[in-house]
Chains A and B, each alone.
Chain A
């Protein structure tokens, strides 16, 4: 439906009055994206070190774990460069129609893994516990 609308609206903060205006803004956003693709939603390295936190006297294992985090912009068109839910694409379009009230999709984990932690408690008993959703496996736009 974007074909035939070649005009540009450089004022992105101005609220589009019609869906056609919104699509013009979307096209402009896509153009901006193509100039800076590194801003896309990506998984980034983050290691949580129990050793650096000074906890090696009570955490037996692991020394730490690669938690990762998600960062980047969820900009139109989402499916051109990253994982995105189908609804995130709709969310983007509605954001263009109402940019002040409807937020963009969020860059967030789409898959998470668990870890196990082995540690002493105050009584020198030992606990092996499974923690779910601790490690980012994939990021995407929601």
Chain B
């Protein structure tokens, strides 16, 4: 009966691996994972927003069963406040994805780009190391908005995310509007901006990856410092750092190289 588990026997000899055997084992498992070498992350803290968000995705998948194909039967946990949780929209992206990747902001923390009358903030993400054969099916830029007591609760703002098209320019022509949102001063939680098209462009043409800019305006069009309305940038708490997440779909069968 192929549908039932076989009886499991425990006959594996437990012994300590010799150093050479351990290295061989590491090499083989790395090969299975499709990695050329053991990653050595420089700054690895699992308390940052991106790893926490990714761990939520992982736990959601694990809770609802390991499926043979894709991330199907995934039930999301929906909340916008606190650490970055998984939204219903992520759920649909997950069902189609073979891989999900979060990217840390490699731009200068809290760098303000002053152009004419604006106080834009810059964010950069390195998409140059995407494994071959993976295509972006969805991508989001996520930034946390804290509650600010000093502002009137009914005050509203426009938050806009732009793609940078030119490295240096004095005008605003070098920006391409990607997504915009109206937020209340009293609002608290994660703001999610769709950057799918831009991410695809960056994967295909890494030279065009000049980052994103975030701009905040009052309803009468005045530029506002994002920090003054609670938008947490690089210097905020670890679990509320802005980050980017991309969902990938494999476009080809991945073959391991012969050793």
Residues of A within 8 A of B (CB): 42-46, 48, 53-55, 57-58, 60-62, 68-69, 71, 82-83, 110-132, 134-135, 137-140
Interface bits B206-218 vs A (CB < 8 Å: 1, else 0): 0000000000000
The answer to whether B55 and A119 have CB atoms under 8 Å apart is no
The answer to whether B62 and A116 have CB atoms under 8 Å apart is yes
Q: What separation, in Å, do the CA atoms of A139 and B7 have in the docked complex?
A: 9
**Contact A130:B55 (CB < 8 A) given known A115-B66, A124-B44:** no
**Contact A125:B99 (CB < 8 A) given known A43-B6, A130-B70:** no
The answer to whether A45 and B8 have CB atoms under 8 Å apart is yes
Q: Which of B2-42 contact A (CB under 8 A)?
A: 2, 4-12, 22, 25-26, 29, 32-34, 38-42
**Contact A42:B8 (CB < 8 A) given known A120-B41, A134-B32:** yes
The answer to whether B26 and A53 have CB atoms under 8 Å apart is yes
Of the candidates A55, A62, A129, the one having the most CB atoms from chain B within 10 angstroms of its own CB is A129
> Whole-angstrom distance from the CB of B68 to the nearest CB of chain A?
6
Q: What separation, in Å, do the CA atoms of A125 and B101 have in the docked complex?
A: 7
Residues of B within 8 A of A (CB): 1-2, 4-12, 22, 25-26, 29, 32-34, 38-44, 46, 50-51, 54-55, 57-59, 61-62, 66-71, 97-104, 106, 126, 129
Q: List the A side residues contacting B25 at CB < 8 Å.
A: 53
Q: List the B side residues contacting A118 at CB < 8 Å.
A: 54-55, 58
**Contact A55:B38 (CB < 8 A) given known A116-B61, A130-B70:** yes
The answer to whether A124 and B33 have CB atoms under 8 Å apart is no
Q: What separation, in Å, do the CA atoms of A44 and B5 have in the docked complex?
A: 12
Q: What separation, in Å, do the CA atoms of A62 and B7 have in the docked complex?
A: 25
- Chosen A-B contacts, 20 in total, with CB atoms closer than 8 Å, are A43-B5, A44-B10, A45-B9, A45-B12, A53-B25, A55-B38, A58-B39, A83-B2, A113-B68, A114-B67, A114-B68, A121-B129, A125-B103, A127-B100, A128-B101, A130-B71, A130-B98, A134-B32, A139-B6, A140-B2
**Contact A83:B6 (CB < 8 A) given known A118-B55, A124-B43, A130-B70:** yes
The answer to whether B101 and A127 have CB atoms under 8 Å apart is yes
**Smallest CB-CB separation from A68: which chain B residue?**
B8
**Smallest CB-CB separation from B62: which chain A residue?**
A116
The answer to whether A128 and B57 have CB atoms under 8 Å apart is yes
Q: What separation, in Å, do the CA atoms of A5 and B40 have in the docked complex?
A: 67
The answer to whether A43 and B126 have CB atoms under 8 Å apart is no
> Whole-angstrom distance from the CB of B97 to the nearest CB of chain A?
8
Query: What are the 10 A-B residue pairs with the smallest beta carbon separation, nearest first?
Result: A120-B41, A43-B6, A124-B41, A128-B100, A126-B54, A45-B10, A118-B58, A126-B102, A129-B99, A58-B39
The answer to whether A126 and B6 have CB atoms under 8 Å apart is no
Partner of A125, one of B2, B97, B104: B104
Q: What separation, in Å, do the CA atoms of A126 and B58 have in the docked complex?
A: 11
The answer to whether B11 and A122 have CB atoms under 8 Å apart is no
Partner of B8, one of A44, A54, A111, A134: A44
**Smallest CB-CB separation from A42: which chain B residue?**
B9
Q: What separation, in Å, do the CA atoms of A42 and B12 have in the docked complex?
A: 12
The answer to whether A116 and B58 have CB atoms under 8 Å apart is yes
**Smallest CB-CB separation from B44: which chain A residue?**
A120
Q: What separation, in Å, do the CA atoms of A127 and B102 have in the docked complex?
A: 7
The answer to whether B104 and A124 have CB atoms under 8 Å apart is yes
Q: What separation, in Å, do the CA atoms of A54 and B126 have in the docked complex?
A: 27
The answer to whether A58 and B38 have CB atoms under 8 Å apart is yes
Q: What separation, in Å, do the CA atoms of A137 and B3 have in the docked complex?
A: 9
